[in-house]
Amino acid sequence: MPLTIQTRGSLIAETLASRERARTAILRDESAWTAALGLSCVSWLMLAWIVGAALALAGGYDGTYALLRRIALLVIGAVATAIAVRAAFVIAQSSRLRALHDPRTLRILGVAAIVLGTLFFVQFLALDTVGGVDISLALTAIGPAVLMAELSFALPAMAHGRFGTAIGGAGGYLWVLSAIALVGVAVVPAIWWMAPLLGAGAASCTAPAAVRLWRHFEGDARGA
Helix H, strand E, coil C: the string for the chain is CHHHHHHHHHHHHHHHHHHHHHHHHHHHHHHHHHHHHHHHHHHHHHHHHHHHHHHHHHCCCCCHHHHHHHHHHHHHHHHHHHHHHHHHHHHCCCHHHHCCCCHHHHHHHHHHHHHHHHHHHHHHHHCCCCCCCCHHHHHHHCHHHHHHHHHHHHHHHHCCCCCCCCHHHHHHHHHHHHHHHHHHHCCCHHHCCHHHHHHHHHHHHHHHHHHHHHHHHHHHHHHC
Using the predicted structure, report yes or no on whether residue 1 has a pLDDT greater than 70. Answer: no
pLDDT at position 25 over 50:
no
Is 70 exceeded by the pLDDT of residue 176? yes
Q: What is the pLDDT of residue 99?
A: 61
Q: State the average pLDDT over residues 131-159.
A: 87
Residue 23 has pLDDT above 50, yes or no: no
Cβ–Cβ contacts within 10 Å for residue 68, how many? 10
Gap between the Cα atoms of 112 and 140, Å rounded: 9
Lowest mean pLDDT among 13-22, 56-65, 96-105, 190-199: 13-22
Q: Cβ of 3: how many Cβ atoms within 10 Å?
A: 7
User: How much is the pLDDT for 224?
Assistant: 45
Structure confidence at residue 196 as a pLDDT band (50, 70, 90) = very high
Mean pLDDT of 23-48: 76
This model's pTM is above 0.85: no
For residues 145 and 199, the answer to whether their CB atoms sit within 8 Å is yes
Predicted pLDDT at 17? 41
Mean pLDDT of 102-116: 92
User: Which percentage of the chain shows pLDDT scores above 90?
Assistant: 48
What pLDDT is stored for residue 32 in this prediction?
Answer: 76
Distance CA(169)–CA(37), nearest Å, equals 16
Mean pLDDT on 37-59: 93
Q: Which of 33-37, 85-89, 97-101, 196-200 has the highest mean pLDDT?
A: 196-200
pLDDT at 100: 64
Average pLDDT score over residue span 197-206:
97
Per-residue model confidence (pLDDT) at position 198: 97
Looking at residue 20, what is its pLDDT?
43
- Biggest alpha carbon–alpha carbon distance for the chain: 88
